[in-house]
């Protein structure tokens, strides 16, 4: 686990960046700049800890991951450990920790939900299991590597509130996405499929009732020139700082009660 810290008087939130960090993944190289911009422009200070997927399962099982103020599962699949990525997502979902999953993080968020909420134990990701006969996450009919496209958010959704509009243009870098015929089962168990492309394919998902749970097939890390964080990244940071402030207040209140 590696750390990227920001020294400031503002309250810092601890965020777990779950992914197999690589200088060859463009979204990874932008993360330090995005963190700097969040602190400088928005006063949103994040102490970021990179957790390789190979370590994430142990971090989740030990309870260490539950101590973070946000979990961001980053692009860069196939991950070294599918189990680690899924454990990080499950921890965030079950513990009410603000969560953002982008590209591979989106794909694995759907996979985790299918297996652990919908009971679809055989749900598979074709990139991880090429022999799967009916994968939940399957090769896209047309690759989205280097593609830009319109995303339409459902009115009243978290996706719409985060994007600030019903329509936005987003950047992709992926070859896999959800097979549409599996999605009704996920929606029936509460997952909201809240963003679609112009052909109706799902591009965003969220979990109503959770403090902040958002997944995008597109990569918000690649928005613009990297100097201004995408609204989804800023929204995650805001949720993380709010959680950190709430936990600090609870700790202070508890200390005061003991002292009294």
The answer on pLDDT for 24 being more than 90 is: yes
The answer on pLDDT for 9 being more than 50 is: no
pLDDT of residue 256: 59
Nearest to 208 by CA among 166, 163, 151, 161: 161
The answer on pLDDT for 76 being more than 80 is: yes
Residue 154 phi, psi (nearest 5): -65, 135
- How many residues are recorded in the chain? 260
Enter the pTM of the model.
0.93
Please report, for the chain, the start and end positions of each structural domain, with discontinuous segments joined by +.
2-259
CB 65 within 8 A of CB 91: yes
Task: Considering only residues 12 and 58, tell me which one the structure prediction assigns the higher pLDDT.
Answer: 58
Q: What average pLDDT does the segment 130-148 reach? A: 93
The packing angle between helices 104-116 and 82-95, to 10°, is 70
Separation in Å, CA 190 to CA 110, 154, 184: 12, 15, 10
The answer on pLDDT for 208 being more than 50 is: yes
Please give the Cα distance from 228 to 44 (Å, whole number).
13
Please give the Cα distance from 213 to 159 (Å, whole number).
10
180-191 pLDDT, tens digit per residue, is: 999 999 999 999
The single-letter DSSP state of residue 154 is P
Q: Calculate the average pLDDT of the chain.
A: 93
| Local confidence band at 69 (pLDDT 50, 70, 90 cut-offs) | very high
Please give the Cα distance from 89 to 73 (Å, whole number).
8
Q: What percent of the chain has pLDDT over 90?
A: 87
C-alpha 128 chain-centroid distance: 19
- Domain 2-259 coded CATH 3.40.50.300: no
pLDDT of residue 72: 98
pLDDT of residue 157: 98
Among all chains, which residue has been given the structure tokens 């799967």? 132
């Amino acid at each position: 686990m590696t750390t990227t810290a920001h020294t400031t008087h503002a309250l810092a939130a601890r965020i777990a960046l779950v992914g197999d960090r690589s200088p060859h993944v463009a979204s990874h190289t932008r993360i330090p700049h995005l963190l700097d911009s969040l602190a400088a422009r928005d006063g949103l200070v994040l102490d970021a800890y990179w957790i390789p997927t190979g370590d994430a399962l142990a971090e989740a099982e030990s309870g260490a991951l539950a101590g973070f103020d946000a979990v961001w599962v980053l692009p860069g699949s196939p991950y070294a450990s599918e189990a680690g990525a899924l454990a990080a997502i499950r921890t965030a979902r079950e513990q009410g920790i603000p969560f953002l999953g982008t590209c591979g993080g989106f794909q694995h968020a759907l996979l985790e939900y299918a297996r652990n909420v919908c009971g679809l134990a055989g749900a598979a990701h074709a990139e991880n299991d090429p022999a799967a006969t009916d994968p939940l996450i399957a090769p896209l009919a047309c690759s989205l590597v280097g593609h830009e496209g319109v995303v339409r958010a459902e009115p009243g959704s978290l996706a719409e509130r985060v994007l600030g509009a019903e329509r936005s243009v987003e950047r992709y870098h992926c070859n896999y996405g959800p097979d549409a015929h599996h999605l009704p089962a996920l929606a029936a168990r509460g997952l909201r499929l809240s963003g679609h492309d112009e052909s109706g394919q799902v591009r965003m998902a969220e979990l109503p009732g959770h403090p902040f749970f958002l997944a995008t097939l597109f990569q918000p890390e690649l928005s613009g020139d990297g100097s201004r964080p995408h609204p989804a990244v800023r929204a995650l940071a805001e949720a993380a700082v709010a959680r950190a402030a709430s936990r600090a207040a609870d700790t202070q209140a508890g200390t005061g009660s003991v002292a009294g």
